[in-house]
Amino acid sequence: MYYKRKIYEDILKWKNENKGKKALLIEGARRVGKSTIVEEFARNEYESYLLIDFSRTTVKVKNIFRNHLDDIDLFYQLLEAELNSSLKRRKSLLIFDEVQKFPRAREAIKALVADGRYDLIETGSLISIRENSADILIPSEEKKYFHVPNGF
């Protein structure tokens, strides 16, 4: 329980201090609760959130990342329509879960943070993130890393 509260407090501090200027990457071992704590945080601290689990998402969602980042307005419109979600400027959170499964989403962080409409949190497993980031440009807008312990 202590770790869960501590991680939640750390994420809240990130939200209050960064105000959309940095994405947060939460990495840790598989199946320790990263996604659970982030989704709980999103429900409690934002008016709405959009969760994309890259281990399960559709080809259509992935193609939005591949084909529409040059038009951020269209990018968000397509995501909202495809995922049946409604985002509110500076009051919504985007969650990229299992981001190591689709490195293109991690590359998109630079453009999405620069746009500044929403906060962004990425989650992924430690080893897989490093293995799958060899061929992408790691965004400097992704500054903070949290290592989630097993069994928190």
Q: Is residue 143 part of a domain?
A: yes
- Indicate the number of domains in the chain: 1
Question: What's the predicted TM-score (pTM) here?
Answer: 0.86
Q: Is residue 49 part of a domain?
A: yes
Q: What contacts 97, CB < 8 A, 6 or more positions away?
A: 35, 38, 51, 52, 53, 54, 55, 122, 123, 124
Q: Is residue 66 part of a domain?
A: no
Q: Residue 98's closest CA among 60, 56, 41?
A: 56
CATH of the domain at 46: 3.40.50.300
Q: Is residue 113 part of a domain?
A: yes
In the numeric block, the tokens 């906060």 are attached to: 119
User: Which range marks the domain in which residue 25 is found?
Assistant: 2-57+89-148
Q: Is residue 18 part of a domain?
A: yes
Average of per-residue pLDDT across 66-76: 97
Residue 152 has pLDDT above 50, yes or no: no
Q: Is residue 81 part of a domain?
A: no
Label residue 135 by pLDDT band (50, 70, 90). low
Q: Is residue 106 part of a domain?
A: yes
